[in-house]
Structure 1
Amino acid sequence: MAKRGVAAGEAILRCETGDAKRAVPLSRLMGLSAEGGGGLSAGQAVARKRRNALLREARASRPEWRDVPDRRAATLMLPALRRYRTGAWQADRGRDTAPAGDPARACFWRALRLGVPVPDSVEGLALILMDD
């Protein structure tokens, strides 16, 4: 299994794909699923990990989110994330750099630009906010 893990890591670093049109699912790179099995591509897995880190960073940027339990933080953060997604994000999405001045907004911008779903429920956000 260790050899497969090393090979998978090297393949991810080289951004290998199964063909020019679709990425190889991470589970297949690691030898955990048969040819053609579904699952996340390595790129999607990396993007989700980055999204999770950015949402945790946004939480850490505000004491009212940082200093409460995960579910409470998600309950408080979600309205701000929704407001950003339906409001300022519409103008910010075309920017080349994250908006300055508000670290949480900058994290939301970076997370939304990754192209992976950002949770729109307290439960989904609370799961992400939990420590790894």
Structure 2
Amino acid sequence: MAAKKPTNWRLWAKCLIGGAAVAVGGPAFTMWLTPTEEELRSKYNPELRKKSLENVEEKQQEFDDFVTRLKEYSKSDKHIWIVVKEEEERRRKAELAAAKASKQETETRREEMRREAGLEAK
């Protein structure tokens, strides 16, 4: 029977230290290099900075609405992309109905104005 080779503890120590350095150091280095939103905004020209600061609340509200819709979509048993497609279809139909109602209202007003002016209706 062959003699058992001794464990190379120095090699294992190097591997563990190197792995820990990569596992901890990589994300730490990335976090250190990534600029914050304030640092990015400070590098904008004044006009862009002003626009960016004006739109912060609007963008945050849009994101909150998006997340709220995603939460609603996720409550369904269907896949999320199917629910999104159905919601888009419902929204499109509602927009078409609103446009049709607006057109009808415009026609009604136009006819009313013609009657008031004493013109014949078409």
Query: Structure 1-normalised TM-score?
Result: 0.31
Query: Structure 2-normalised TM-score?
Result: 0.32
User: Higher relative contact order by CA 8 Å / sep ≥ 6: 1 or 2?
Assistant: 1
